[in-house]
Chains A and B, each alone.
Chain A
C-alpha cells in the first residue's frame, strides 16, 4: 500500500479514540480546592474529573444563580454519528479515492471542528449568562451590567474566587493529529503521483 494511503487511514482511525478519550476539559481552582475540581467533555457525555466534581461545581454555582451542568445535551446524541460519519467517509476516501480527496476530508473536518467549537461557545455563553433572578449572590460589573460567569473557550480566566482553565484533552490532540496526517498524506500522495 502506498505510504500516503497508510498515513490517511491511520489519521482517520485516530478519530475512533474520541469514543474513549475526552475532547476537552474545564478545571476550576480556588483556595478551598487544593485539589482542583473540573469535568471532561466527551463527544457523548460530561464526566467528573474526580468523583462528584460536577455535583460540587453545581452547588457552588447555584449561589450566583447559574443553572446546573446538564446530565446530557442534545449534541451528545448527534456527535457520535458525526464522528462515525467522518470515519466512514475517511475510510472510503482512504481506500477508494485518490490523494486529492484527502484534502477534502481535511477541510470537512475543519468545518466540523469549527461548528463543534461554535456550539461549545454557545453552550458556555448560555451557561455563564442565564442566571436566576433569585440568586443569593448577584455581582455587577463596574458598568452596572450583571456579572457573567462564562468559562473561557480556550485558555485561563479568573472568575471571582475561581481560576478557570479550558483546554483540549487527549481526544482532541489525537483528532488534530489525525487531521494533520490527512494533510501530510495529501502531500506525500502528490509526491508519489509525480513520480
Chain B
C-alpha cells in the first residue's frame, strides 16, 4: 500500500510535469487562439483576401478556398466525372476525359500552378496535372472551369508537372515512371538503360492559351519527381529532381534508395527551343488526346494527335546538366530571385541548396564529375551553395515568403521549418497535424510571393476532427508568417488528398470572374435563344429536344410521340441572363447525371426510355419561388406507335 502511494506520488509528479509543459503550451496557444480566431474570422458577407486552389489528389479535382477563412467555395471538376455539375456526364464535356486509352473518368490531380507574366502571377489560367493517365489540364480563371486537357505521350506517372515558366511560355510535365519509349513488349528486368523518362514542354499560346507539346526531352530512365522553373537570371532553365537513378524496376523502396546522391537535372529549355526552332529533334509517331472546351459552343472536342517531337539530350550539348543532390530528392524549388535551387532529400535531415550562378561558373570551368548517359554531371562542391543542417526529418517541399526566408515541410518529423536564405540557419519550426506534404504561400512559386500566410497540407489527420469512420478527412493548416515566428491559425478539411496548391490575392481574379454567359454569344449547335424556336426533331431513332428554361418553366414541357428504344437528346438552353440563376434538369430513369446549366449556356443529356408511360422531368436547382412547379412530362409510346411527335408549353397538346 505504501509502495502504491509512492508510485502514485511519482506518477502525479510526472503528470504534473507533463501537464505543466502542456499548460504552458496550452496557455500559449490559448492566448494565441484568441487572436488567431480574429485573424481568420471573415465576417458574414465579407470576402477573403486570397484564393487558394488546393489540388484534390485522388479526387481528381481542384478545390477553391478562401484565405484566411479556409471556406470551400467550389470544387472545379478537372480529371474526374462530377455528377453535380454533369462534368464528364453531359454530351458537351464527355470529350474532355477522352484519352488514347479511351474515356478515363478519373485521375490523380497534383500540382496546380497559376499562369505568370514576367515571373508574377497574372491570374489568367491555372494548370494542373493528372498523374495516373498523364494529362495536363488548364482551368480558365474567368469561369473557373476546365477548358483544355492535353494527354502526354511517352510518359507515366505525370508527377514533375504542371509548373509554368516565367511568362507561361511553357507548362512543363515530367514523367515519374520511366517507360519504354516508344512503348513495346519487353522484359521488365531490362529496364536499366532501356526505359526512358520524357520531360515535356507544352507551349501555351499567349493569345488564347492553347496548349501544344512543343518538344519532349527523352532523358535517361530515372524517376523525375518534381520540377520548378528558373526565374530572373535563371529564366530559361528548368530544374527537375530525380530519384531512382539506380534504375530499379522492383522494390524501389530499397533499390531506389541505394545511391547517396541522385540528381537535380538542369534543363536549358531556351537552348532546346532554339534547337527545335532550327529544325532539331525528331518527329515520332504517337497517339494522344487533345481536348478543348469552347466557351462559345459550350462544347468540348477531342482530337487525337499522331505525332510528337522528341529531342535526344545528347544531341544538344550544353543544354542539360545534372546536379548531384543527396538522398532521393523530392521537392525542387527555386527561390524568388532565381539564384537558389532547393533540393529536399526526402531520406535526409538536411536540405541541399544549389546556386545558379555557381552552376553557370562550374559549366564554364567544366567542373564535371563524370556523366550519365552522356549528360554531364557537375561536381557537387562546385554547384552547392550550402545546406540547412539537421532542419528536420524527411524534407519534401519549400516555398518562399519574398522576405528572404524559405519554409520547408518535413514529412517524418511532421513540421514546417522556417529558415534563412544565404545563412541557411533555422529560424522557427512549428508542428503540423500530421505528416505534412506540400505547403503553399500565395505566389510562393513566383518572383513575387505574398508572404502573409503559409498553408500546410497534411496527409494524416487521425484525431484532429470528429471521426467519420475509418476514412477521415485530410486537412490543411494555415499559419500566419507575417512575423518572425510562425503562428498556427486554423485547421480546415480538404477534399481528396491535397498535394500542391496555388494561391493569389483575391483582387487578381474577383473582378474578372464571369457572371453569366451572354445568350447572343451562344454558338451551341442545338441552342435556342427564345421559346418560339423550341422544337422536337426526330431523325430516325434519334430525337433531339431543343428546350429552354427560364423562371419558372421549361419550354416545351409536354412532349408526345417518343417511343421505347429512342435515343432522346435533351439540349437545354438556360435563357436566364441574371447572375446566379442556374437551372437544373433531370429525367426519371436517365442513365446519367442531372444537368446544371448556367445562364446563357446550353447543355445536353441523353435519355433512352425503356418503358411505356408518361415520365416526368423537373428542375433540380431551387431557382425561384415557383421552382417546385418547374416540371414537365414526356409520353413514351411503344416502339412503332403512331402517336405523332408533338410538343407544347402552356396549352394542352391537341
Chain A residues in the interface with B (C-beta under 8 A): 51-52, 55-56, 59, 63, 136-137
Besides A56-B577, A59-B550, A63-B626, 7 more A-B contacts (Cβ < 8 Å) are A52-B578, A59-B576, A59-B578, A63-B624, A63-B625, A136-B625, A136-B626
Q: A59-B550, A59-B551 are in contact. Are A51 and B577 (CB under 8 A)?
A: yes
In the bound complex, residues from chain B placing their C-beta under 8 Å from that of A55 are 577-578
Q: How far is the CB of B583 from chain A (nearest CB, A)?
A: 12
Q: Which 3 A-B pairs have the closest CB atoms?
A: A52-B577, A56-B578, A59-B551
Distance of A136 Cα from B628 Cα, bound (Å):
12
Q: How far is the CB of A132 from chain B (nearest CB, A)?
A: 13
In the bound complex, residues from chain B placing their C-beta under 8 Å from that of A136 are 625-626, 629
Q: How far is the CB of A73 from chain B (nearest CB, A)?
A: 22
In the bound complex, residues from chain B placing their C-beta under 8 Å from that of A59 are 550-551, 576, 578
Distance of A55 Cα from B625 Cα, bound (Å):
17
Closest to A59 in B: B551
Docked-complex contact B577 and A137, CB < 8 angstroms:
no
Distance of A52 Cα from B550 Cα, bound (Å):
14
A-B contact pairs, 7 of them (CB 8 A): A52-B516, A55-B578, A56-B578, A59-B551, A59-B576, A136-B626, A136-B629
Distance of A136 Cα from B553 Cα, bound (Å):
12
Chain B residues in the interface with A (C-beta under 8 A): 516, 550-551, 576-578, 624-626, 629
Distance of A63 Cα from B625 Cα, bound (Å):
9
In the bound complex, residues from chain B placing their C-beta under 8 Å from that of A63 are 624-626
Q: How far is the CB of A92 from chain B (nearest CB, A)?
A: 45
Distance of A63 Cα from B626 Cα, bound (Å):
9
Docked-complex contact A137 and B551, CB < 8 angstroms:
no
Q: How far is the CB of A190 from chain B (nearest CB, A)?
A: 56
In the bound complex, residues from chain A placing their C-beta under 8 Å from that of B624 are 63
Q: How far is the CB of A158 from chain B (nearest CB, A)?
A: 18
Distance of A8 Cα from B577 Cα, bound (Å):
46
Distance of A55 Cα from B599 Cα, bound (Å):
13
Distance of A59 Cα from B625 Cα, bound (Å):
12
Docked-complex contact A137 and B625, CB < 8 angstroms:
yes
Distance of A51 Cα from B518 Cα, bound (Å):
10
User: Which of A56, A59, A136, A137 is most buried by chain B, counting CB atoms within 10 A of its CB?
Assistant: A59
In the bound complex, residues from chain A placing their C-beta under 8 Å from that of B551 are 59
In the bound complex, residues from chain A placing their C-beta under 8 Å from that of B550 are 59
In the bound complex, residues from chain A placing their C-beta under 8 Å from that of B516 are 52
Distance of A63 Cα from B551 Cα, bound (Å):
9
In the bound complex, residues from chain A placing their C-beta under 8 Å from that of B626 are 63, 136
In the bound complex, residues from chain B placing their C-beta under 8 Å from that of A137 are 625
Distance of A51 Cα from B519 Cα, bound (Å):
12
In the bound complex, residues from chain A placing their C-beta under 8 Å from that of B576 are 59
In the bound complex, residues from chain A placing their C-beta under 8 Å from that of B625 are 63, 136-137
Distance of A137 Cα from B551 Cα, bound (Å):
14
Distance of A137 Cα from B552 Cα, bound (Å):
13
Q: How far is the CB of A90 from chain B (nearest CB, A)?
A: 41
Distance of A52 Cα from B577 Cα, bound (Å):
6
In the bound complex, residues from chain A placing their C-beta under 8 Å from that of B629 are 136
Distance of A186 Cα from B578 Cα, bound (Å):
51
Distance of A42 Cα from B624 Cα, bound (Å):
31
Distance of A51 Cα from B514 Cα, bound (Å):
13
Closest to B576 in A: A59
In the bound complex, residues from chain B placing their C-beta under 8 Å from that of A51 are 577
Closest to B599 in A: A52
Distance of A136 Cα from B551 Cα, bound (Å):
12
Q: How far is the CB of A34 from chain B (nearest CB, A)?
A: 9
Q: How far is the CB of B627 from chain A (nearest CB, A)?
A: 12
Q: How far is the CB of A108 from chain B (nearest CB, A)?
A: 42
Q: How far is the CB of B177 from chain A (nearest CB, A)?
A: 50
Q: How far is the CB of B431 from chain A (nearest CB, A)?
A: 42
Distance of A87 Cα from B130 Cα, bound (Å):
69
Closest to A137 in B: B625
Distance of A52 Cα from B517 Cα, bound (Å):
12
Q: How far is the CB of A84 from chain B (nearest CB, A)?
A: 33
In the bound complex, residues from chain B placing their C-beta under 8 Å from that of A56 are 577-578
Distance of A137 Cα from B626 Cα, bound (Å):
10
User: Which of B550, B578, B624, B625 is most buried by chain A, counting CB atoms within 10 A of its CB?
Assistant: B578
Distance of A52 Cα from B581 Cα, bound (Å):
13
Closest to A60 in B: B551
